[in-house]
Amino acid sequence: MAAPMVSDARYPEYDVVVVGGGMAGIAAATASGRAGARTLLIEKAGWLGGMGITGATGLHSFFNIFLAHPGAERLRVVGGLAQELVDRVRELGGGVGHVPMERGGDFVSMLTPVEPEAFKLAAARMCLEAGVRLLLHTVMDEVRAADGHVESLVVWNKAGRGLLRAREYVDCTGDGDLAGWAGAEFAHFGPGDPGAYSAGFTFRLCNIDLQALEADLERQGLITQLAHAVKPGMSRPDLVRLGIHMGQLRELGEDLAPGYFLSSSVRPRELTYCNCVNHGPNDGLDPDALTAAEVDLRGRMLGVAELFRRRFAGCEECYPAGPAPSVGQRRARAIRCDYELTQEDCTQGREFEDQIGCFSFIDNPRDLVRDAGAYGIPYRCLVPRGLDNVLIAGRMMTVDLPAHNSTRNTACCLLCGQAAGTAAAMCVAEGCRPADLDVTSLQRRLGADGAVVRVPRG
């Protein structure tokens, strides 16, 4: 049977097409639309937010890790569209804002928990109000490119295969599918490769007496992270962040205890996000590996619920619900760009003349930014080598592992997405390649739109 025909009349030509509606894609599309570009956002799922809303315990971090350095000043490092999303979610009754940590603040000093369903609606509305056309339930099937220039994309959805054309493209696929298929240089990480990552999986634990659970964990000396805030619909502070020292239980012979346990709670009587089970290291480009991870991690979720029912007060009748719709593969490709952040760039808090934002959180227990500061993210990190009309944003932007530990996180993806979308629209307006864009003008536009381009130094 012949391959299905590709319709070249179904979609008009756009100024900017953003592929992938996760954290980076939401911000890229909104920024592009607000800058006046005719913008289309395609996403394979039926909602926006990606792994950042189905697989993370919160949006982190909008601030530096000030509690790791006694006496350090608290600095805001992320604003702009990322902060607007936080505000919109809170207005919908799904957020508590930025919450200071009471324990464990040397890892993340401020956490921003959000309720996933409220976030999905807030993100969709923000894009639509910016004039973005959303095309959900749509996957990129083919990239047609020649000599480093993307001519068009073939997408598939229930209407069949269709051709998309744009002047500029922003790859927010997480795995760098667009840039990689177009011929950009990339690194691929599979099991056994340095820098390979596991697949994760989050879920809710419901019907929990949170006060009883906290008291029991306190009695056993098992709490590693803790924070409280007034939740939507409540009048008194309640548990919003909980970390449990699971290694201690494993030493006592609890085979069902995972290697770690981090969670956030936005609703009464539930842990909204439980982050505790992993599979791998895994190859995120291998469908058989991803399938195996799905089966394994859903079984582990049930095991964690069983452990809580048997082991902790307040959890006797708890049950898992709201699992992530799919496993969260943290890494597959890293697209090689005109500049690649290094561990030293991050830990030394280096600044760059062309930076489009800054960040502070490094998601591993070993590395911290010097003196509770922030490091800059150069615009060049968003410009893939060998392509002349593509920008990237999201977790595929760094090859170096400790740098990737940082840049793959939610708030960083949002700020890079805003920069990439703004830059793409400016390239259309000015008729230039991304590599030739006047970065000073981009920085000025980002600052006017509320982004924190550079943290003021005392």
Is 3 part of any domain? no
Say what the pLDDT of residue 3 is: 62
Say what the pLDDT of residue 8 is: 85
What is the bridge-based pairing of β-strands 166-171 and 390-392?
A: parallel
Residue 6: pLDDT band (50, 70, 90) is confident
Dihedral sign, CA of 214, 86, 333, 446?
A: negative
Residues 312 and 266 in one domain: yes
| Cβ atoms 337, 315 nearer than 8 A | no
Domain count, the chain: 2
160 CB neighbour count, 10 Å cutoff: 12
Distance separating alpha carbons of residues 190 and 209, to the nearest angstrom? 41
Residues 30 and 75 in one domain: yes
Ranges assigned E (strand) in 305-421: 319-321, 328-329, 333-335, 355-359, 375-378, 390-392
Distance separating alpha carbons of residues 8 and 13, to the nearest angstrom? 10
Residues 121 and 139 in one domain: yes
Return all residues near 55 (Cβ < 8 A) that are at least 6 apart: 200, 201, 202, 275, 324, 328
Which range of residues forms the domain containing residue 92?
A: 10-189+332-448
The residue among 329, 362, 381 that closes a domain is 329
The residue among 329, 347, 381 that closes a domain is 329
Q: pLDDT at residue 181 above 80?
A: yes
Dihedral sign, CA of 231, 236, 241, 246?
A: negative
Extract the tokens encoding 458.
């005392």
Distance separating alpha carbons of residues 419 and 393, to the nearest angstrom? 8
Cα torsion at 239, 245, 248, 250 (round to 10°)? 100
Q: pLDDT at residue 4 above 80?
A: no
Say what the pLDDT of residue 365 is: 87
Is 339 part of any domain? yes
Residues 80 and 181 in one domain: yes
Is 167 part of any domain? yes
Q: 74 vs 66, 110, 336, 349, 365, CA distance in Å?
A: 6, 10, 33, 15, 20
Say what the pLDDT of residue 2 is: 56
Say what the pLDDT of residue 147 is: 96
- Give the pLDDT mean for 99-128: 97
Residues 181 and 227 in one domain: no
Q: pLDDT at residue 40 above 80?
A: yes
Say what the pLDDT of residue 281 is: 93
CATH number reported for the structural domain that contains residue 378 in this entry: 3.50.50.60
- Give the pLDDT mean for 436-448: 98
| Cβ atoms 376, 352 nearer than 8 A | yes
* Nearest to 316, CA basis, from 307, 303, 324: 307
Task: Return mean pLDDT, the chain.
Answer: 96
- Give the pLDDT mean for 258-277: 96
> Tens digits of per-residue pLDDT, 196-227?
999 999 999 999 999 999 999 999 999 999 99
Compute the 3-state secondary structure of the chain and give helix, strand, coil in percent, each to the nearest 5: 30, 25, 40
Residues 324 and 349 in one domain: no
* Nearest to 416, CA basis, from 22, 11, 15: 22
Distance separating alpha carbons of residues 215 and 209, to the nearest angstrom? 10
Distance separating alpha carbons of residues 20 and 26, to the nearest angstrom? 8
Residues 100 and 171 in one domain: yes
Say what the pLDDT of residue 458 is: 56
Side-chain-side CA neighbours of residue 324 (13 Å): 29
Residues 51 and 160 in one domain: yes
The residue among 329, 349, 366 that closes a domain is 329
> Tens digits of per-residue pLDDT, 232-257?
999 999 999 999 999 999 999 999 99
| Cβ atoms 115, 90 nearer than 8 A | no
Q: How far apart are the first and last CA of the chain?
A: 68
Residues 231 and 147 in one domain: no
Extract the tokens encoding 263.
């969670």
Is 210 part of any domain? yes
Is 2 part of any domain? no
Is 4 part of any domain? no
Q: pLDDT at residue 13 above 90?
A: yes
Residue 276: pLDDT band (50, 70, 90) is very high
Which residue is listed with tokens 């979609």?
11
Say what the pLDDT of residue 7 is: 83
Residues 166 and 222 in one domain: no
Residues 203 and 348 in one domain: no
Residue 456: pLDDT band (50, 70, 90) is confident
Q: Which residues pair with 330 in a beta bridge?
A: none
- Give the pLDDT mean for 434-449: 98
Is 69 part of any domain? yes
Q: pLDDT at residue 440 above 90?
A: yes
Query: pTM of the predicted model, to two decimals?
Result: 0.97
| Cβ atoms 41, 135 nearer than 8 A | yes
User: φ, ψ for residue 405 (rounded to 5)?
Assistant: -55, -25
> Tens digits of per-residue pLDDT, 343-369?
999 999 999 999 999 999 999 989 999
Q: pLDDT at residue 340 above 60?
A: yes
Give percent above pLDDT 90 in the chain: 94
Strand (E) or helix (H) holding 16 = strand 14-19
CA 119 to chain centre: 13
Say what the pLDDT of residue 115 is: 95
Is 182 part of any domain? yes
Residues 32 and 97 in one domain: yes
Residue 391: pLDDT band (50, 70, 90) is very high
Extract the tokens encoding 146.
């020649």
| Cβ atoms 330, 56 nearer than 8 A | no
- Give the pLDDT mean for 2-28: 91
